[in-house]
Amino acid sequence: MEERLVISNGVVDGRRVDLLVDAGVVVADDIDPAGVEAPCVDVGGRLLLPALAEPHAHLDKALTAEIAPNPTGDLRGAIEAWMEAEAAGRFDAEGMAGRIREELDRLLLSGATAVRSHLNVGGSVGVEHLDVALRVAGEFEGVLDVQLVAMITMPLTGEGSESNVAALREAIDMGVHLVGGCPHLEPDPVGAIEILLQHAGEAIPLDLHVDETLNPEMLTIEDLISAVETHRANAVTASHCVSLSALDSDRVRRIGDGLARSGIGVVALPQTNLFLQGRDDQRLTPRGIAPVGRLRAAGVEVAAGGDNVQDPFNLMGRSDPLEAAALMVMAAHESPEDAFDLVSSGARRVMGLGSAGPEVGSIADIV
């Protein structure tokens, strides 16, 4: 990027602006473009908005629906399809690198400048997926902020856990940005959360898959809140939180108060959860989307993401955060303004990134 740049003839909140960008930050919005010695981009009266962000992707799985077909269409079928494909050796490093590169290109073209992706770590793959993703992410340095999450294979406690915990340590040594896992699928959810928090320490943030089920009794989110409140944890994100959608408003409010108090952000994932959840319900099929409106009212930082794209967990998707925003309007009854925030500024807040957009003082990531 040029050290200084003028963006002229833009519109922000209904008013005409001429921006001066210096060292990647908007420093003025009312300049005379002719009076500034810097390259100028005339946007022709177009609306200027904060850049989009993808707070929850699975780059190692993207675009694999034909390689790992899911015969049942539900979450268990997707997991089994993926594990079968891994065991059969259907994924090679270069093929995965190409798909990750394509997915990052698609996100960039959609207007996203930040991406957080979960990657399988442990089990039969060890750190292979992470190694590929780190290599490809380096190709986008300076263009995309790519955050990689080591999603540790189950189990993390008891028999069979040693190799997974070792892979967790190796991922941290490799420089993974966040630590993750699926506590609600673990034989010992509380123990798994403790292991992840202990290894992350105070330096590494966590982003966990939490309660991806319509069962209202499955509330490991409460275990996560308790654990975070007793640890000196770095930033923590709870993704999915589907079971919250099955609770009454009073229970959601109490859990929301705990999330806000402990600083845990929540990412709703409408596309994949609409695809996977509720397949056994023949009438009044539930939507399975985290109740972000009620959580927001409790003071929780919330975002929405695309999750899986054309893979066993979701056959659809175009790698565009605005697709998630549209689904939040239609299926979660968010206003268009709030839905856009979920995939732009709100997503950046959950991801721990600075404010971006056309406002003075913001990082000049603008669409």
Q: Using pLDDT thresholds of 50, 70 and 90, give the confidence band for residue 93.
A: very high
Give me the pLDDT at residue 1, please: 52
Give me the pLDDT at residue 2, please: 62
Give me the pLDDT at residue 71, please: 92
Q: Concatenate the DSSP letters of all residues of 50-69 into one string.
A: BPEEEEEE-TTTTT-TTTS-
Mean pLDDT of 201-227: 97
SS3 93: helix
| pTM metric for this prediction | 0.96
pLDDT in tens, 45-83: 999 999 999 999 999 999 999 999 999 999 899 999 998
Interstrand relation of 15-22 and 25-28 (parallel, antiparallel or unpaired): antiparallel
Mean pLDDT of 157-177: 98
Mean pLDDT of 107-118: 99
- Do residues 97 and 131 make contact, with C-beta atoms less than 8 angstroms apart? no
Torsion angle, alpha carbons of 317, 318, 324, 325, to 10: -150
Give me the pLDDT at residue 3, please: 87
Give me the pLDDT at residue 32, please: 96
Domains of the chain, start order: 4-42 (no CATH), 52-350 (3.20.20.140)
Q: How far is CA 361 from the centre of its chain?
A: 25
pLDDT in tens, 289-301: 999 999 999 999 9
| Mean confidence (pLDDT) of the chain | 97
The yes-or-no verdict on residue 113 having pLDDT over 70 is yes
